[in-house]
Amino acid sequence: MTPLRTKCMTVLAFALTLALTLGMTSSAFAQDDRAASRRVVLSGVISDVATTADGVVLTLDRGERDEDPADDVTIQLTADTRISPPGVEPAVDVRARAVAMAPADEGGAFTALVLVLKGRPQPPQRPLQACGTITALPASGRDGDWTISVPDVADYTFAVSAQTRITPRDVEPAIGMRSCFLARPTDAGWAAQNVVLKPARDGQGGGRDTVELNGTVTGLPADRSGDYVLTIQGADAAHDVLVTPDTEVEGDLADGVRVAVRALRSTDAAGNEVLTAQKIRVVGRPSTPGRGHSQAPVRVEGVVTEVAADGTSWSIAHEGTTTVVTIGDETHIVGLAAGASPLDREVEGRALAQPDGTLLAKTLRVKRN
């Protein structure tokens, strides 16, 4: 074979190879173009979310929810669909943008490759805090579902468990008893975190209820064997309290000491009111003559069970007794946002006994829930 013939055949072979290569490349590009042409970008507002055997199916309204069905498209989410931002679930009324594959058949669902949700995750429900009357309790024990009716609002049912803090500890819940509660939302419903039980109001509970007294001992008898009567001078009036051998006394009683008293109110045969002390706790020492009320501060701690309408006093329950402190201009409160309620919050601090028998809070620290 002559050199010229060999050279011509080589050129011909190269030309054929080049033609085949260009043909295959053009075919590949054509396939990529066809695939790319099936990808579409869809934007709108999610109007429906449904779960099927194939996964989640969205209905996307591209007409700003103008109720025109022609603007609705169906988008199928698969295991390969990338959702952004992570952790945000598709929901009705959330704006969305999807990169999707067009359906092979007209009227079919688009298949989402990427779904970008414009909405933010829904914030968790806030804790529920309210006061009302107990209308339903578990058949046995404290654990179970309680229902509290809040006047002019609603009836709330929440779960009480061993983790629920119930105060006072020695008071058993009863139908008709007033109660304040703090509950948090869970997947199963409301779960009580704190429950504060309050004695029934006058005229409820068969004529017997528990009262809380705060004041100064002004009439301590010399003979305190057996039953005796203790006079407590409060801010507005004096109260005679019957002390029995069953009364729990915490601290040393003396004339002039500041005390917090939990007493059972009842009536005798003549119809007179009788206050029988269940617990007496000494919360302040007598004032030193000539020094006004500049005595040592009194420690206060417990759960805030009641707040005056004008905010000038807090009732703080601790181990079965309630101490009322006055909130003045000089009271320093830590850990409570401006305008927030301290109800059902744990607090601790210092207070000073005043000449009228009241306690003026000097410092109160509201603990985190």
Residue-wise pLDDT for 71-96, tens only, equals 688 999 988 888 876 656 788 888 88
Answer whether residue 307 is part of any domain. yes
Asked whether residue 308 is assigned to any structural domain, the reply reads yes
Q: Please tell me whether residues 238 and 266 are part of one structural domain.
A: yes
Residue 72 maps to a domain: yes
How far, in Å, CA of 305 to CA of 196, rounded?
7
Residues 210, 280 within the same domain: yes
Whole-angstrom distance, CA of residue 189 vs CA of residue 66: 35
Residue given tokens 């309290």 in the structure block: 241
Count of domains in the chain? 4
Residue 149's nearest CA partner among 160, 136, 162 is 136
Q: pLDDT digits over 26-35, tens only?
A: 444 444 444 4
Query: pLDDT value at position 2?
Result: 59
- Are 238 and 187 in the same domain? no
Mean pLDDT score, 217-237: 76
Instruction: Indicate if 194 and 158 belong to the same structural domain.
Output: yes
Residues 198-231 as b/e (b if ≥16 CB within 10 A, e otherwise) read bbbeeeeeeeebbbbbbbbbeebeeeeeeeeebb
Quick check: is 21 in a domain? no
Residue type, 303: V
pLDDT value of residue 202: 41
User: Is the CB of residue 157 less than 8 Å from the CB of residue 189?
Assistant: yes
84, 97, 113, 117, 122 from 61: Cα distances, Å:
19, 11, 18, 14, 21
Q: 365 with 346: CB under 8 angstroms?
A: no
244 and 220 fall within a common domain: yes
Q: Residue 299: which of 334, 251, 350 has the closest Cα?
A: 350
In which domain, by residue range, is 342 found? 298-366
**Residue 182 shares a structural domain with residue 209:** no
Q: Is 267 inside a domain boundary?
A: yes
| Whether residue 46 is found in the same domain as residue 88 | yes
pLDDT digits (tens, 9 = 90+) for 288-299: 444 444 455 778
**Does 235 share its domain with 165?**
no
Cα 170 to the center of its chain, rounded Å: 25
Per-residue confidence (pLDDT) for residue 309, from 0 to 100? 74
pLDDT at 316: 87
| pTM for this entry | 0.32
Which whole number is the average pLDDT over 247-256? 85
CB under 8 Å, gap of 24 or more: what pairs does 6-13 form?
none
- CA 95, CA 109: separation in Å to the nearest integer? 19
274 and 214 both lie in a single domain: yes
The dihedral sign for the CA sequence 158, 159, 164, 167: positive
pLDDT of residue 23: 55
- Last residue in a domain, options 198, 226, 241: 198
pLDDT class for 160, splitting at 50, 70, 90?
Answer: very high
Query: Which of these three, 62, 93, 117, is where a domain ends?
Result: 117
Residue with tokens 């039980």: 197
Last residue of a domain, one of 140, 172, 198: 198
124 in helix, strand or coil? coil
Q: 122 lies in a domain?
A: no
If asked whether residues 272 and 244 sit together in one domain, one would say: yes
Region 43-53: what's the mean pLDDT? Answer: 85
pLDDT level of residue 201 (50, 70, 90 thresholds): very low
Q: Which of 313, 349, 338, 342 is nearest to 194 (CA)?
A: 342
Burial of 41 (0-12, 13-18, 19+ CB in 10 A): exposed
- Residue 352 — very low, low, confident or very high, per pLDDT cuts 50/70/90? confident
* pLDDT over 70 (residue 339): yes
Which whole-number Å values give the CA distances from 209 to 7, 114, 171, 177, 327, in the listed order? 119, 65, 11, 10, 27
Residue 214, in any domain of the structure: yes
The rounded distance, in Å, linking the Cα atoms of 20 and 112 is 36
What the block records as the tokens of 149 is: 């009716």
What pLDDT score was predicted for residue 86? 61
Range from 19-33, 156-170, 210-224 carrying the lowest mean pLDDT: 19-33
Report whether pLDDT(61) > 80: yes
**Range of 144-158, 199-213, 242-256, 306-320 with top mean pLDDT:** 242-256
* Domain assignment present for 20: no
Asked whether the predicted pLDDT for residue 120 surpasses 80, the reply is no
CATH number at residue 241: 2.40.50.140
Around Cβ 83, how many Cβ atoms within 10 Å?
A: 18
Residues ≥6 apart with Cβ < 8 Å to 334: 363, 364, 365, 366
Q: Report which of 210, 182, 209 is spatially closest to residue 196, judged by C-alpha positions.
A: 182
